[in-house]
């Protein structure tokens, strides 16, 4: 006699839930000895949701959630390596230089040989910390400050402040939106919703990621001229928002040449961890 598919799914979910509840440490987020985050908290939550959907007869929804579980488990295996051997990621240059804001509001580390330069006309809020542009070369500083991107962009803009201060500095403020109280993802979604229609760029979906035990939000973006014959520059980048302490956040915009997204992503994450409030 064939076993009903629903019953098979329920049995599999039951086994997986039993494993996650009994075999894992009570703290779902653990830093492994290999230096990678072994975080199964979201996997456990998805399994519980999948079980509930399947039990209620929504088998298709349960299977969709299982697909997300498989994707997250695969990502953990890739990050932490198979058989205890971590998968090498993009090389990150040593962050041996430190920028400290004149007003003492924050500090951040950046690569040796890079330039720390102010961002032109970055904020109308005089009380907010002044953002800083970290660039691999002077051409990137001039291109980003003059809004004339080139094909050799390589830099990271760093913003620090309350949610509203960050949004104002990014030029995405809307008076009818209440920003304070938003988490990293809510803040990112609000910024993207405001800037996307006029940016000319394409933003990927914002994702929640764990950085230094904090829940950050990250999204990739790219710009391609609509006219293939245009001489405008093509570039890719990563947008990341990380909570600091209290109601303070840091937002980082990393830009780079097409095809180098993984490298700028790794660098943006590394720089974000070094941002310290004064």
> For the residues of the chain, what is the DSSP string, one character each?
-PPPHHHHHHHHHHHHHHHHHHHS-SSSEEE-TTS-EEE-HHHHHHHHHHHHHHHTT-HHHHHHHHHHHHHHHHHHHHHH-BTTBPPP--------EEEE-TTSSEEEEE-TT-EEEEPTT--S-TTSPPPEEEESSHHHHHHHHTT---TT--EEEEEEE-HHHHHHHTT---TT---TT--HHHHHHHHHHHHHHHH-EEEPPPEEEEETTEEEEEEEEEE--SSTT-----EEEEEEEEE-STT-EEEEEEEE-TT-HHHHHHHHHHHHHH-EE-
The band of 228, judged by pLDDT with boundaries at 50, 70 and 90, is: low
Alpha-carbon distance of 204 to 236, in angstroms, equals: 11
pLDDT band at residue 277 using 50, 70 and 90 as cut-offs: very high
| Four-way CATH pick for 97-277: 2.40.30.30, 3.40.1000.10, 3.40.50.10860, 3.40.190.10 | 3.40.1000.10
| Average pLDDT of the chain, as a whole number | 78
**Confidence band (pLDDT; 50, 70, 90) for 34?**
very low
Instruction: Please report the pLDDT score of residue 108 as a whole number.
Output: 97
Spell out the domain ranges in the chain: 5-80, 97-277
**Contact in structure between 268 and 254 (CB atoms under 8 Å):** yes
pLDDT digit string, tens, across residues 190-207: 888 887 555 556 788 888
Give the CA distances from residue 69 to residues 63, 64, 196, in Å, rounded to whole numbers and listed in that order: 10, 9, 30
At 54-93, the pLDDT tens digits run: 888 888 887 877 777 777 776 666 666 544 454 566 778 8
């Amino acid at each position: 006699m064939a076993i009903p598919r629903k019953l098979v799914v329920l049995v599999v979910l039951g086994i997986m839930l039993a494993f996650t509840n009994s075999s894992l440490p009570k703290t779902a987020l653990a830093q492994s000895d290999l230096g990678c985050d072994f975080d199964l908290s979201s996997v456990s939550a998805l399994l519980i949701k999948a079980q509930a959907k399947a039990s209620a007869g929504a088998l298709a929804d349960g299977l969709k959630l299982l697909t997300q579980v498989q994707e997250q488990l695969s990502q953990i295996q890739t990050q932490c390596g198979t058989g205890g051997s971590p998968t090498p990621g993009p090389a990150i240059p040593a962050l041996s230089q430190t920028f400290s804001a004149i007003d003492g509001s924050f500090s951040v580390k950046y690569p040796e040989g890079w330039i720390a330069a102010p961002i032109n006309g970055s904020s109308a809020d005089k009380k907010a910390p002044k953002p800083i542009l970290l660039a691999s070369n002077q051409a990137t500083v001039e291109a980003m400050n003059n809004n004339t991107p080139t094909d050799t962009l390589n830099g990271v803009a760093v913003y620090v402040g309350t949610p509203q201060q960050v949004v104002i500095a990014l030029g995405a403020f809307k008076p009818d939106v209440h920003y304070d109280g938003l988490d990293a993802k809510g803040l990112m979604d609000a910024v993207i919703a405001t800037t996307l229609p006029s940016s000319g760029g394409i933003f990927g979906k914002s994702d929640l990621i764990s950085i230094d035990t904090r829940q950050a939000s990250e999204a990739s973006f790219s710009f391609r001229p609509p006219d293939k014959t245009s001489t405008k520059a093509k570039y890719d980048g990563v947008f990341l928002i990380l909570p600091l302490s209290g109601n303070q956040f840091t937002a980082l915009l990393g830009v780079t040449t097409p095809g180098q997204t993984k490298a700028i992503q790794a660098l943006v994450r590394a720089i974000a961890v070094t941002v310290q409030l004064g």
